[in-house]
Structure 1
């Protein structure tokens, strides 16, 4: 029998979010219903509200979540009722060309729930990143659940569902940061600071945080940065990075902003054969113009990081274990804990750079 619960939707481009009644149907054969305990407020949710993803309104927002499996479909084998899980939007199919080539972190055909959640008038909702977790209970595919240590604070665990995993993975998985490497991170919001934490975890010895906000640079130091560069106070960010790396540039530079200007800084601030990792999300109209000869004359690698190139089943339990051991300070990303009615205020705080993460507790 279907259930009616409270959830947060966006009806139209730029319109304020609303808390409304949402109908959650019975799960299909491979679907599960998860009772949400906590969900982070990610910039992607704001992008959905603003029409930056697509125009399939109304959206059911929220996707960085953790909760308890409440109901399972008759063919579900991946999780059981009562499991504490982190939700993920990479439920790998195992059959696409990426999966069959042993690269499931690039899966091209990830699973979502077989049924749609709706408004009470029957209007179908588009769940953010196939999840929709600013809600008391949500319907997802069993592969979108990753079981982790049930003793973990849900507000902390849920952040691995998107932004924090994207940043950690950008450093560790995509950038392949290793012991003794130098790393520069441009943009010290939630994703950038997660890349800093990931670089520290991977053994980087020089980690340079770059931002124009002193408060964000202070957060970055708390998460592992050894040096900071305030872009508003230096004449040339590239030269500043080179000065801190014996004139060479960093081994890995992570662009967590995703603008042509910051990408160009990342490109030239790396060592001759260094790696650039783009994890900040550009908008469709942005263009990059650089001399082609500069690409030819420098080695290394230019990479884009999708969801930190993570495998949830591999990475989430490992990172939670490291957090529980005191080796990964995931709790430092939780700036404030809020309710379902506070999403608009959380968006404002995000845009003002006042938070790493606001987390909705349900």
Structure 2
């Protein structure tokens, strides 16, 4: 089969490798579509804990073409998506119900073979049948699961005045679910007008176009008559945005770090400001116990992904897919190993 294979950071080839065989509890999937996200850019640079050789791709929808002898959850021919992580269930983090921090976690697309390939093997008990969903809708299950977990961590108070930085796929999903889970006023700030228009259609009460080079903090603060926002969320991972988060947060409010920065990035914080104004700083990592809720949000329309897939690529165009994700004109890029129709 064909697959994208990294041998070290920044170095990949489109390789011809043996098609994997499923074990007794596994299924072999023909990959229909795999989402490309900001995490893949970090993995390309060697961040986020990759193991080599690596086949990336952790947002996957595929067709079951073979199943192991002990698999009963799915049938051959089913269309499925899957939770790309498998925790041991026994380490100290697992025992505290934090499987994303498992000491021995297997994360397909990170330290185990992922979906930027013609075929992928995964565990049958981590599959979710999505025969009722279009593949380019079901491919959002993993990123939405991450957002749902993020909202679990945030524990938003009803009526909160929320400022959300970022209108990429994660920012747009956050906007949709924040608007439907109690935000009193939701302001989305981003540099791209087209994405802000999309955010306005998907739950944002107010959108503000901000400059990438900064200089927007005073204008945003003025929207609250100088009080600040109850919650400030960064879904960009940009230090130029994060440095404004605390000044824009109301006394007693919460700064929510959702976007992924470079591993070596450092953010100066004045501890006295956190102390004096009783601020809370929270972070959210990956997804935990939220995949089923993500699919429910897609099925009941709480999250509407229509129009979010803006760029489609083949495996041969993987480099172009990475470039698209880094481009502000792209909302969501996907790879279709079988060809782009």
The answer to whether TM tops 0.5 is: yes
Find 2:142's aligned residue among 134, 138, 161: 161
Q: TM-score, normalised by structure 1?
A: 0.82
Structure 1 Cα separation of the partners of residues 7 and 101 of structure 2: 31
**Match of residue 116 from structure 2:** 134
**Match of residue 150 from structure 1:** 131
Structure 2 Cα separation of the partners of residues 41 and 175 of structure 1: 25
| 8 Å CA contact 1:90, 1:312 repeated in 2 | no
Find 1:297's aligned residue among 267, 273, 276: 276
| 8 Å CA contact 2:298, 2:304 repeated in 1 | no
- Report the more deviating stretch, 81-90 or 268-277: 81-90
CA change 1:13–1:134 in 2 (3 A) is same
Structure 2 Cα separation of the partners of residues 132 and 265 of structure 1: 36
| 8 Å CA contact 1:33, 1:139 repeated in 2 | yes
| 8 Å CA contact 2:161, 2:183 repeated in 1 | yes
Higher helix share: 1
| 2:229 maps to 1:250 | yes
Per-residue CA deviation, residues 101-145 of structure 1 (Å, 9 max, x unaligned), is: 3455655543468xxxxxxxxxxxxx4353510112101233442
Structure 2 Cα separation of the partners of residues 10 and 106 of structure 1: 24
Structure 1 Cα separation of the partners of residues 221 and 32 of structure 2: 45
Per-residue CA deviation, residues 230-273 of structure 1 (Å, 9 max, x unaligned), is: 22299753333333234332222211122443223222222212
CA change 1:221–1:61 in 2 (3 A) is same
User: How far did 1:178 drift?
Assistant: 4.5
Structure 1 Cα separation of the partners of residues 279 and 125 of structure 2: 35
| 2:322 maps to 1:347 | yes
Matches of residues 259-278 of structure 1 in structure 2 within 5 Å? 259-278=238-257
**Match of residue 305 from structure 2:** 330
**Match of residue 358 from structure 1:** 333
Structure 1 Cα separation of the partners of residues 189 and 69 of structure 2: 50
**Match of residue 90 from structure 2:** 95
| 8 Å CA contact 2:232, 2:254 repeated in 1 | yes
Structure 2 Cα separation of the partners of residues 107 and 11 of structure 1: 25
| 2:205 maps to 1:230 | no
Q: How many residues align?
A: 337
CA change 1:91–1:60 in 2 (3 A) is same
Structure 1 Cα separation of the partners of residues 110 and 214 of structure 2: 40
Matches of residues 1-362 of structure 1 in structure 2 within 5 Å? 5-15=1-11, 17-54=12-49, 56-104=51-99, 107-111=102-106, 127-128=109-110, 130-145=112-127, 147-162=128-143, 164-170=144-150, 172-232=151-211, 236-307=215-286, 309-323=287-301, 327-361=302-336, 362=338
| 8 Å CA contact 2:50, 2:111 repeated in 1 | no
User: How far did 1:161 drift?
Assistant: 1.9
Structure 1 Cα separation of the partners of residues 50 and 95 of structure 2: 32
Gaps of 5+ in 1: 114-126
Structure 2 Cα separation of the partners of residues 226 and 212 of structure 1: 17
| 8 Å CA contact 2:49, 2:111 repeated in 1 | no
Gaps of 5+ in 2: none
CA change 1:103–1:45 in 2 (3 A) is closer
CA change 1:140–1:112 in 2 (3 A) is farther
